[in-house]
A and B are shown apart, each in its own frame.
Chain A
């Protein structure tokens, strides 16, 4: 049996549906994740793909406990974290980190890059912080001098590198990357993907990569979860999924991707 970093069982999440809130009383709840079960092995690069409203980002956020699931179990390295309170989670936080979709809103605009990367290190009680900040910047290919800059002084690709540096500085076991290249131009997108691939290789990271773009996922991931309407419709190794997609929805998804090729015919 391979070494599992996550065991997720029957995970359910629902949100209040404010659009249908009655004038008096509480809003009804819509279920966003309808009982998901899957494992993540150490060293996996797990792609989580789906359309908008499929629940893919919610799943990611539940895994690192940015939200509390209604029910179900999340075993992270053997520890049940599904219902832990914030105080009990705090010591675990350095072991699962997140890179956000929009670096402009996830990097505090009032902090310099150095402070942004140092923040989590300080909170988690690391020593030798300046060196760790420099190391993290170096690993993502940014010059040390960048620690003096503000986020708005950087390009989109550079900001996303800062987001990556902040996550890897803590040397986490697991990183969630939520649509981290969808806001970028293709040129910087390729750079960020290459960087991520290299970091996975060099640091032995386990990564969950949430994206709507199967082209990007194929490039990076070893396993893929296909989500649709809050359920996992397919869970397969990348090569198998592309060679022989099992679910109807996966086939529709693949078929809809516009290839940069005028000879591709759309049915």
Chain B
């Protein structure tokens, strides 16, 4: 059963230049789907569109975003925000800027529970402590009284994960959550996200540029180029035999420390021009 269904989502800059070109994808309940692409592919834009936090310069011009069968875009703004607030959460990219440096950590986790879901403060605090314990933070009470700068990057990312799961959302959008971290910390965080996602049976849309990370976290993936879906498949098929020439090239360009002489193949110009042609053909079709 698909929890998030995106159909023909089109996002444009104010001047009409498309950022997302009729993107369609689904995330089933309890499934992890990776969104993969290089910079400018529009992978973060999809998550932002779902969360309703598109940048001011961008405008959603077409398509549907179905959450649990209900089209978010046809809902009145207030009802839409309430639904997103209750059902969707975000794990952001940069644990440094995602927490307010001048507030203690505890209230930053409980805010959402109290303000949006109307919990009692005490109840929310108990829940936060429980969650911090779940993300393997020792002495949660002490951490909740800390300021962000007193904690390490990995610790902060754990807090953001706990905070994302706090309201038992049905869908979590993770936007490159480990890109700013050291590999050793990245490993712990990826394992933690996976563990939490399984325990809470949450659907997860995981945005990343790293195919190594994809293979560790997700069951299925969608490859994007220039805001267009290039390939959509399950992870095993993808790494065994990628369906699209661009996907193959991307995989060949990813370094792998286990093969010593494996030379890196840059994505060949011929393939770039092939996908660019695909994009141009698509745009021509859109105009017609």
Q: A residues within 8 Å of B by Cβ?
A: 19, 51-52, 156, 185-191, 193-194, 212-216, 218-219, 239, 242, 252-262, 264, 266
Contacts and interface: CB of A to CB of B under 8 A. Distances in A.
B265 A190 contact: yes
Given A191-B266, A259-B256, A260-B256, 14 more contacts: A19-B149, A186-B211, A186-B255, A187-B253, A187-B266, A187-B272, A190-B255, A194-B263, A213-B183, A259-B257, A260-B212, A260-B254, A261-B212, A261-B215
How would you classify the secondary structure of chain B's contact residues: helix, strand, loop or mixed?
A: helix
Interface stretch (B48-56, B184-192, B197-205): B184-192
Interface in B184-239: 184-187, 190-191, 209-216, 235-236, 239
15 contacts: A186-B250, A187-B250, A187-B267, A190-B265, A190-B266, A213-B183, A215-B255, A218-B260, A219-B263, A242-B257, A257-B212, A258-B213, A260-B211, A261-B212, A266-B191
B280 interface: no
Given A190-B264, A194-B266, A261-B215, A256 B184 contact: yes
B210 A258 contact: yes
A215 to B, nearest CB: 4
Contact of A193 (B209, B210, B249, B264): B264
A212 B209 CA distance: 17
Interface of B: 38-39, 149, 153, 182-187, 190-191, 209-216, 235-236, 239, 249-251, 253-258, 260, 262-267, 272
A19 B150 CA distance: 10
Contacts of A252: 184
Given A259-B215, A260-B212, A52 B182 contact: yes
Contacts of A259: 212, 215, 256-258
B255 A253 contact: no
Contacts of B182: 51-52, 212
A120 B247 CA distance: 41
A257 B257 contact: yes
A185 B209 contact: yes
Given A51-B182, A212-B182, A218-B260, A262 B215 contact: yes
Given A185-B209, A187-B38, A218-B260, A257 B183 contact: yes
A194 B190 CA distance: 30
Contacts of B215: 258-262, 264
B260 A242 contact: yes
Contacts of B216: 258, 264, 266
Nearest to B194: A266
A244 to B, nearest CB: 13
Nearest to A262: B215
Contacts of B272: 187
Contacts of A266: 187, 191, 216
A199 to B, nearest CB: 15
A262 B187 contact: no
A173 to B, nearest CB: 27
A215 B253 CA distance: 12
A264 B191 CA distance: 13
Given A253-B183, A260-B212, A262-B239, A187 B249 contact: yes
A186 B260 contact: no
A262 B32 CA distance: 14
Contacts of A19: 149
Contact of A256 (B149, B183, B211, B265): B183
A213 B255 contact: yes
Contacts of A188: 266
B187 A256 contact: yes
A190 B257 contact: no
Contacts of B211: 186, 260
A189 B214 CA distance: 18
A225 B264 CA distance: 23
Contacts of A216: 255
A256 B154 CA distance: 14
Contacts of A253: 183-184
A73 B8 CA distance: 63
B267 to A, nearest CB: 4
Contacts of A218: 255, 257, 260
Given A260-B212, A261-B215, A185 B264 contact: no
Given A189-B253, A219-B255, A242-B257, A260 B183 contact: no
A25 B79 CA distance: 56
A186 B257 contact: no
Nearest to B186: A256
Contacts of B190: 258
A190 B212 CA distance: 15
A258 B253 contact: no
A197 B267 CA distance: 17
Nearest to B212: A258
